[in-house]
Structure 1
Amino acid sequence: MNFVQPIRDLEKISEVRSFLASKNKRDELLFCFGIYTGLRISDILTVKVQDVLDKDHFYIVEQKTKKAKQRSKKYTVRKRIPLIKKLQRLINSYCEGMRGSDYLFKSRQGKNRPITRVRAYDILRVAAHHCDLNEIGTHTLRKTFGYLVYQNDKDVALLQDIFNHSTPYITLKYIGVNQDAIQEAYEALNNLRI
């Protein structure tokens, strides 16, 4: 399995978004939904129009970590996901004419089904190739969200909670901050007089 990185450069994020917008509004929304919510692709693809249309937040039971979100056998704890204004505008514009029961990222193949993880990966891979980005995958969206939040406020405990990680080290490694520090340490050797 390849290790993917966040997109660290805001200009590159804009470039990817513009490329996707020029191709397909659904794909632009997929990209923005990922970098503005920090959800895994498996959770993003389960979202329906009625979950997010005209709302400032929605609830989700995370597919991968159900164990961490269950308090008892009687009920499951749902995670509250805020929808920022930029994302709300994109959703509301995109969903015009759609039914509430439609998947937000509906496949064009057949009935009301979401696109597959493979299709989501292909969408991002094509955009990354066009924008000269490497080490990109569906997890790049979630990692980009984390990287941007961390760069904004440096609150690793907050991200650790959002991502449900067990340690701050795991969170920093996950969002690529440790890799940045390693790169800087190697580059600092250029300044040594040896």
Structure 2
Amino acid sequence: MAEVQAVKDLDTVRLISHLLERRYSKQMRFVWEVGINLALRVSDLLSIKFTDFTDGRLIIKEGKTGKRAEIKVNPKTQMLINDIQLQHPHHVYLFQSYRNQRAINGPARPLTRRSVSKAFELVSEELNIHINSHSMRKTRGYHLYKKTNDIARVMVMLRHSSESTTLRYIGITQEDVDRDFTELEL
């Protein structure tokens, strides 16, 4: 299996969003768009409850690391969250499962990683690129780095503990570094 990378082209980011809605559902489009903007692991993203938002911030404890994540929600993401809540005012989870019979008659549950992975795989095959649920987090990190060239900021956003891990994670290669040296003349 190929290693999943960040989606480096912004037009492709938007195309993935469009295809997720057309081929799968509006909810999957929202998973992609909110996921890119919050840069969380998919397990943390899917476990978000509406009660985790306070004063324009998302406050959660990350499942993998146990670290507290406090994320200021940008206007686009807030609009998406408001839209989801308006469409499903009785939902507990931001990305609540509501289509199958068990979800209708049972306690509230979030979407599964498997359902998200399945939708992303469908779009991945159509575009002939390799994306999965981790692509959202990597994409956010990559684009923040390209905008700021500040690896320390990306490390803080992703809550990583080393620069080398972050550079490898967002897909910055020696080839990229070489290109930066040749293209930037002072």
Task: Please tell me the TM-score bracket, short chain as reference.
Answer: 0.7 to 0.9
Q: Deviations over 1:98-117 (max 9, x none)?
A: 24652111122323111111
Q: Describe how 1:36-115 pairs up with structure 2 within 5 A.
A: 36-52=37-53, 56-66=56-66, 69=67, 78-99=68-89, 101-107=91-97, 108-109=99-100, 110=103, 111=106, 112-115=108-111
> Between Structure 1 and Structure 2, how many residues are aligned?
174
Runs of 5+ consecutive residues of structure 2 not aligned to the other structure = none
SS at match of 2:12: helix
Provide the rounded CA distance (Å) in 2 between the counterparts of 1:63 and 1:180.
34
How far apart are residue 162 of structure 1 and its match? 2.1
Percent of counterpart pairs with the same letter? Answer: 32
- Equivalent residue, structure 1, for 2:176: 181
**Counterpart contact for 2:32–2:136, Cα < 8 Å:** yes
Aligned-residue Cα RMSD (Å) equals 2.3
Provide the rounded CA distance (Å) in 1 between the counterparts of 2:39 and 2:175.
20
TM-score (norm 2): 0.83
Query: Which of 98, 117, 122 is equivalent to 1:121?
Result: 117
Runs of 5+ consecutive residues of structure 1 not aligned to the other structure = 70-77, 189-194
Evaluate the alpha carbon distance shift between residue 47 and residue 89 of structure 1 in structure 2; reply closer, same or farther with a 3 A threshold.
same
Counterpart residue type for residue 8 of structure 2: R
How far apart are residue 142 of structure 1 and its match? 0.5
Provide the rounded CA distance (Å) in 1 between the counterparts of 2:3 and 2:174.
12
Q: Deviations over 1:109-159 (max 9, x none)?
A: 32311111111111111122222322x211111000100111110110111
Query: Which of 143, 149, 152 is equivalent to 2:144?
Result: 149
Larger Cα Rg: Structure 1 or Structure 2?
A: 1
Provide the rounded CA distance (Å) in 1 between the counterparts of 2:61 and 2:45.
11
**4+ runs deviating over 4 angstroms:** 182-185
